[in-house]
Amino acid sequence: MSTLWIGTSWKMTKTLAEARAWAEALRDHLGGSAPTGVQPFVIPSFTATTTVRGILGDHSPVLLGVQNAHWEDAGAWTGEVSVPQAKDAGAQLVEIGHSERREHFGETVETTRRKVAAALRHGLTPLLCIGESAEVKARGGSAAFILAQAAGALDSLPAEEVSRVVIAYEPIWAIGEKGRPATVEELVDPFAALGEAYGGKVAGLLYGGSVNLDNAADLLGIEHVTGLFVGRTAWRLEGYLELLRIGQEHAAAL
Ligand code: PEP
């Protein structure tokens, strides 16, 4: 049975009280073990990292991440957080290259390459986000675009290091409030391309973008998909628990 990654980034949401309530309820629900066949993960804002780590405990089956980290270990980088600092706060995973960071904060293929290397250097799991715009999709360039994003970040690494990376394919046109859910048909070709390039070589090939309780099972059924990376649906704990249940059911059938 292969492991399905089911996780959420909270983006810039949740106060500490809200983070605490979500994490405590998840911890109590899981009771110390992950649903069979599922690797849960949660990526709060930096401010909630230590709080969530404290609630989950050091031996939680839920991996804890941060939404970004700098490529340098320390230095004059005002406003940034390094991988060693994220690790010190309890993070095990680093989200890198989300399309919002590429669009609004100048993230490039080169910065994602450096950040993936930094996460690996310190033993954290890089969660590399890739995804094309509606314009690129309209001209039929989705697969080439996402493969170039992934290759730019990963292809200078030895195979052993690539095997520790999780890739999340998140088409920009499908994520967030302005996105529309992708159909299974739209995702078959991009995942075929990703599967050919990285299937069996990375730790996970996840899909993200308007995942909801109605489409999650179908999305997990797409060839080469080994997990879901979820925003809004998982911000309510009930939604996340239901996604874990769907993941467990899917894993059991593999
Ligand atoms: C995202 O923004 O990465 C994301 C997956 O969000 P949502 O699930 O809310 O579309």
The yes or no reply on domain 4-253 and CATH 3.20.20.70 is yes
Question: Does the beta carbon of 229 lie inside 6 Å of ligand 1?
Answer: yes
Ligand 1 binding pocket includes 230 (Cβ within 6 Å)? yes
Task: Say if residues 69 and 35 touch (Cβ distance below 8 Å).
Answer: no
DSSP string for 57-114: -TT-SSEEEES--BSSSSSS-TT--BHHHHHHTT--EEEE--HHHHHHS---HHHHHH
Integer Cα distance of 206 and 15 in angstroms: 27
Give residue 254's pLDDT.
87
Question: Looking at residue 155, what is its pLDDT?
Answer: 93
Atom from ligand 1 closest to the CA of residue 212: 8
Whether the CB of 206 sits within 6 Å of ligand 1: no
Question: What is the pTM (predicted TM-score) of this model?
Answer: 0.98
Q: Per residue in 58-84, pLDDT tens?
A: 999 999 999 999 999 999 999 999 999
Per-residue pLDDT of 163-191, as tens digits, reads: 999 999 999 999 999 999 999 999 999 99
pLDDT at 2: 72
At residue 215, the pLDDT reads: 98
What is the reported pLDDT for 165?
98
User: What's 3's DSSP letter?
Assistant: P
Residues of the chain with pLDDT under 50: none
The pLDDT value given to residue 1: 52
